[in-house]
Every structure is written in C-alpha cells, then in structure tokens.
Amino acid sequence: MKNAFMLSLCFFLFVSCSQPTERQAGPIQQSDSQVPSNAVVDEVIVVGNRRVPIETITANIQTHAGVPFNADTVKSDIEQLRSLGYFDQVSVTDGTGPTGLRRLTFEVREKPPNKVE
C-alpha cells in the first residue's frame, strides 16, 4: 500500500513538472517578419473571441489597416482591450501578410461568462 502511494506520488510529480509552462512574452510578439518597423499596417486580424463581437474589439483599438505602425499605439490597444473586463489575455503578433506588408493579429482569450467584470 505504501509503495503504491509513493509510486503514485512520484508519477504525479513527474507529470506536473514535465508540463510546459505558459509562455510569458512581451505585449507585441514578433514573427519572422522582414517588414520595416515604420511600415503601414496592411491587415488587422482578431482571433480567439467567441462571445465578444469583432466589431466591439475593433471599435476599442486605434490600430487599423492603412495607418502607420506605432508600437506605443498597439500597447495602448492591448491595455484598452484588457480594461474592458472581457478577456483573461490579450496579445498581438506582428508579422507579414500574404501581400508582404505588415499584419497584426490580436489574440484574445475570453474570461468565462461568470467571471466577466
């Protein structure tokens, strides 16, 4: 009985320690982009939303297609989305779209319905 308990405990510790931890990154993640830092934003994509409409998200950010990229504005957009109280996590990936121009992907993770502020 004692051996079974110790074996179970060792297995639990092994499994819990071997799980990858969630990546803690800065607010704007760079993909393998060769786009100049001052390039105009060609496309803004929102992913991860289920209940919150894309229109609500885009209405609360200043970064849109056709405007020059500004890292401070994107950081402000992230904080604005977080302040809405709908999301556990908000991040942006800065990359290159199919046209070779700058594509920003806003990735949101919604809070459970009973946790929305």
Mean pLDDT over 78-88 rounds to 96
β-bridge pairing 41-47 and 28-30? unpaired
- For residue 38 the two structure tokens come to 């001052």
Residue 2: inside a domain, yes or no? no
Domain for residue 9, yes or no?
A: no
pLDDT exceeds cutoff 80 at 8: no
Q: Output the pLDDT for position 12.
A: 40
Buried b (16+ CB within 10 A) or exposed e, 68-105: ebeeeebeebbeebeeeebbeebbbbbbbbeeebbbbb
In a domain, 95, yes or no: yes
CATH code for the domain in which residue 90 is found:
3.10.20.310
Q: What pLDDT sits at residue 36?
A: 62
> Could you tell me the two tokens for 79?
């904080």
Return the biggest CA–CA distance within the chain. Answer: 68
Has residue 5 been placed in a domain? no
Report the half-sphere exposure of 86 (CA within 13 A, side-chain side): 16
For residue 33, the model assigns a pLDDT of 52
Which domain does 62 fall in, by range? 23-115
- Whether 88 is in a domain gets the answer yes
Question: Tens of pLDDT along 31-71?
Answer: 555 556 668 999 999 999 999 999 999 999 999 999 999 99
Nearest to 43 by CA among 99, 82, 84: 99
The total domain count for the chain is 1
84 falls within a domain: yes
Residue 11 lies in a domain: no
